[in-house]
Amino acid sequence: MKLSALAKKEGQDILKNKIYLGVVFVQVFILLGTFGIALATSIASDPALLDQYGATSALKVGVPDSIQGSQLESDLQKQNLNLTYYKNISDAQQSIGTTLVAVVGFNSTTGQNITVKTDTSNVFYPVVSSKINNAVNEYQTQKKLASSGLSNTEIQRIINPINLQVVNLNENHPANIALDSSYFVEIMYGFIVPFILLLPFFLASNIVTDSIVGERERKTFEVLLMTPISSSMVMLGKTLPILFFSLIQSVAWIILLDLLKVPIYNPLFMFIMLFFMGLGFIGIGILLSMFVDSTKEANSAITIILVFATFILFMPLFIKTSYFTPILNYIPTIIMVKIGSTPNIGPDILISGLPTILLSIMIFGFTVKYFRRERAIRL
Amino acid sequence: MKFTSITKWEFKNTLKSKKFMMIFFLQLSVLFLMIIIFNSFVTNIESDNSVSITPSLSGFASMDVLDQSGLFLKLINPADISIVPLSYNASMSNIAEGKTTGFLYVPGNADQKIRSGQTIDMTIYLDSSDPKSSVVRDEVNSTTQIISQSYSNTLTDSVVPQNTTIPTVKQESTGESLPLQIIKKVMLVILLFLPLLLFGNMIIDTVVGEKERKTGEILIAMPMSQAQVIIGKSMAVVLTISLQVAMWLIILLIAGFHIDNPLLVFIFIFLTSIPIIGITSVVAAYSKNFKEAGIGLSIAYMGIVGFLVVPVLLYLSRKSFIANISPMTIVMRIFSGESIPPTDYGISLAAILIVSIISYWIAIKLFERDDIMFGPRPGILRLIYDLITFKKF
């Protein structure tokens, strides 16, 4: 009863705090912003998606007037490139980096000496380069095979020696994903999802330090400790509302991501992971609160700790070296990626989450023990 | 009494504070951490043929493969996909149970058939219910294209008469690739500007601290204007920042980073710190307590970071003139050794000057108002109304 009264009071304090609520809304903008950027960059870097969305007007390639009517012009047009014709090729080359992404030169009399100049700093460079290469390769092969005397069927067999058939199974339960792009799937599940779902816990560490150090600054902590309630209950009463406030936010972001067509799979296991990680974050916040004297000091210290936490949690997502793989499998963010992106997870993934759960329980347990001994009171 | 006296007090107190010195050196440790991240990114990029900034998750997706010829298995890149050689029935059962994302079937005699010029049929079975099926599909597609291109070239060469004239292709490229520029230039320029955002708490401490400790009245009673108090306190923080920026520059130069014209880089970062501290002073002057100021500062800094970074990305992708409005763009261009026309410097300096004048003017006006210093504090809408109607401003 006493615990519920304290938890209720802490919960009400959080919900009445306009600043905390403001930060929750900031997270919505972060989520929508990162989703939008991921969507835009996925389309901009994928030739097939650019064609599908008809956004090929930005793929501007300068060509000489003399290319008109040639096989090369037809091959370039087949790649959906936006061709701009110039009388003089040197005029076109001057526009590289401003209006043009690339210039394709061509000797129309001989059909030889193709020159390709591209601006690698352009955002559409990878797509344009890939499309020009496809067109030029096709042109070269056709020119070579034209003199071979082979039939059309034989030429096609040489040009396409492999026939890849794609068969989609389980089509009655399709993944409801916003964009069918490997880049989008990798960037969303591989970075943005764990980042967004952990944001509330970064805020939780701040709320914890505010709550405990704030009581000390206002000299109300002594009164709280004088009440007939155990240290463990004080600790739980202060932390549970913060933990639930963070978990509710994370669940809301899971629902919002689902609405944006980035479904998070295994929500129950994800919730369990977040619960224990939240305990760890809050435990660190409480521990820190016991060593500092003011909110100002607590804010500075928690910022630095969160920088290190970000490094430990998110750097492994970008590490390629294979000799780190055994350790990487136990990093909480990597486990979150696997849980969130796999419809049917195996027991190995769940087992790899155990060290995180144990470590979080240890941090929180140590904090409770230390709090009970010291009662966090340094008057 | 001038504002320089306040600057001297604050600066001396800052340097004497053990806690400040601890934070100062902890920030340097953050810099070392950043250098490690930076170097690992550059090494990662330079060791790869293709340049990307996507997460590199080993075993992100999984695929079973039946390829007795070894044609496909020897060429597929298993960076993000764990490849498991398995039989047809076991693989189909794995897909049905959701244990794997895809299954690739390559005919047993594929290697022989393709060498003899016959078309081979490969089949990729994808689990549509798994969002990672596109990762598997794209990887299989790109590997198939590589194999296809290689055999197509070999077969073409074998059937084409030796005296056939083949169109030659000469490829040239200008500029540095965008991802490489983002890593090499944007990350470095962010590192250089980081100290500007790390000392916001100091101005909060000196301004909001006066309110919380109830020493604001004494400060106002001193023989100096509120404008001198705000400018004096701000300049102390600007000096501290310049000290940190100088140290970071020296460390980055020692760590082997290529920075052209470090003195001009330093001057521009120093000048940029003035309006940033001005905006921080506005937050500090309006806030009632540290907690409120801390959150207000976080929101203000998000806007500042956006104003600084977005034009940099705009400049890299479009070489836009207006992108020079961000001093970060100019600093990036200076240390990259670009020749910068005076108009580009001008637009950046004008932005610094205008934001400085407006922010310090607002901070001073807020600090001069008794209702903000001692309460009851008016809301932001009320302040905007006062500003529009020239009341109390």
Q: Domain ranges for chain B, please list them.
A: 3-43+177-388, 61-151
> Is B104 in contact with A349 (CB distance < 8 Å)?
no
What would the pLDDT profile of B81-129 be if each residue is shown by its tens digit?
788 888 888 988 888 888 899 999 998 888 888 888 788 899 999 999 9
Note the pLDDT of residue B38: 67
| Predicted confidence band of residue A313 (pLDDT cuts 50, 70, 90) | confident
Least confident of A29-43, A149-163, B244-258: A149-163
Crossing angle of the two packed helices A193-217 and A18-44, in degrees rounded to 10: 160
What residues in B contact A297, CB-CB < 8 Å? 19
What class, spelled out in words, does domain B61-151 have in CATH?
A: alpha beta
What are the residue boundaries of the structural domains of chain A, listed by start?
Answer: 2-42+181-374, 55-159
Cβ atoms < 10 Å from Cβ of B51: 16
- The span from the CA of A81 to the CA of A58, in Å, is 9
Contacts of B151 (CB under 8 A, 6+ apart): A161, A162, B114, B115
Least confident of A252-266, A302-316, B379-393: B379-393
Residue in chain B nearest A217 by alpha carbon: B212
> Is A289 in contact with A208 (CB distance < 8 Å)?
yes
DSSP B105: E
Structure tokens at B247: 């140290």
Strand order in the sheet with A112-119: A82-86, A60-64, A102-107, A112-119, B169-174
Mean pLDDT of A96-109: 83
What would the pLDDT profile of B121-166 be if each residue is shown by its tens digit?
999 999 999 999 999 999 899 899 888 888 888 888 887 777 777 7
Rounded to a whole number of angstroms, the distance from the CA of A126 to the nearest CA of chain B is 9
Average pLDDT of chain B, as a whole number: 83
- The span from the CA of A192 to the CA of A204, in Å, is 19
Q: Which of residues 340-359 of B touch A (CB under 8 A)?
A: none
DSSP string of B167-188? PPEEEEEES--HHHHIIIIIHH
| B291·A19 Cβ contact <8 A | yes
Crossing angle of the two packed helices B290-318 and B327-335, in degrees rounded to 10: 50
| A163·B159 Cβ contact <8 A | no
- The span from the CA of B124 to the CA of B126, in Å, is 6
What would the pLDDT profile of A149-195 be if each residue is shown by its tens digit?
777 788 888 888 889 999 999 888 888 899 988 889 988 998 899 99
Q: What 3-state DSSP class applies to B323? A: helix
CA angle at residue A219 from A216 to A225, to 5 degrees?
75
What residues in B contact A295, CB-CB < 8 Å? 289-291, 294
- The span from the CA of A306 to the CA of A314, in Å, is 12
What would the pLDDT profile of B324-375 be if each residue is shown by its tens digit?
999 999 999 999 888 899 999 999 999 999 999 999 999 998 888 888 777 7
Residues B160/B161/B167/B168 CA torsion (nearest 10 deg): 100
| B172·A168 Cβ contact <8 A | no
Note the pLDDT of residue B51: 40
Is B18 a residue whose pLDDT tops 90? no
> Is A92 in contact with A84 (CB distance < 8 Å)?
yes
Is A215 a residue whose pLDDT tops 90? no
| Largest distance between two CA atoms of chain B | 98
> Is B324 in contact with B330 (CB distance < 8 Å)?
yes
Residue in chain B nearest A262 by alpha carbon: B131
- The span from the CA of B269 to the CA of B263, in Å, is 10
How far does CA A368 lie from the centroid of its chain?
Answer: 34
Note the pLDDT of residue B50: 42
Note the pLDDT of residue A301: 80
| Predicted confidence band of residue A32 (pLDDT cuts 50, 70, 90) | very high
| Predicted confidence band of residue B3 (pLDDT cuts 50, 70, 90) | confident
Cβ atoms < 10 Å from Cβ of A138: 18
- The span from the CA of B20 to the CA of B14, in Å, is 6
Least confident of A171-185, A204-218, B170-184: B170-184
Note the pLDDT of residue B202: 80
Using the Cβ of B299 and the Cβ atoms of chain A, whether some distance falls under 8 Å is answered with yes
Question: What fold does the segment set A55-159 form as a domain?
Answer: D-Maltodextrin-Binding Protein; domain 2 (3.40.190)
Is A145 a residue whose pLDDT tops 50? yes
What residues in A contact B165, CB-CB < 8 Å? 112
Strand order in the sheet with B102-106: A162-169, B120-127, B102-106, B61-67, B81-85
Note the pLDDT of residue B56: 61
Intra-chain end-to-end CA distance of chain B, in Å: 25
Note the pLDDT of residue B49: 44
What would the pLDDT profile of B30-80 be if each residue is shown by its tens digit?
777 777 766 666 665 555 444 445 566 677 888 999 988 888 888 877 777
Structure tokens at B141: 């597609």
Q: Which of A157, A150, A100, A148 is nearest to A125 (CA)?
A: A100
Give the number of A-B residue pairs with CB atoms closer than 8 Å. Answer: 264
Catalogue the E-assigned strands of B113-194: 120-127, 169-174
Note the pLDDT of residue A188: 92
| Predicted confidence band of residue B392 (pLDDT cuts 50, 70, 90) | low
> Is A81 in contact with A133 (CB distance < 8 Å)?
no
How far does CA B240 lie from the centroid of its chain?
Answer: 24
Rounded to a whole number of angstroms, the distance from the CA of B27 to the nearest CA of chain A is 8
User: Which comes out higher in pLDDT, residue A216 or B275?
Assistant: B275
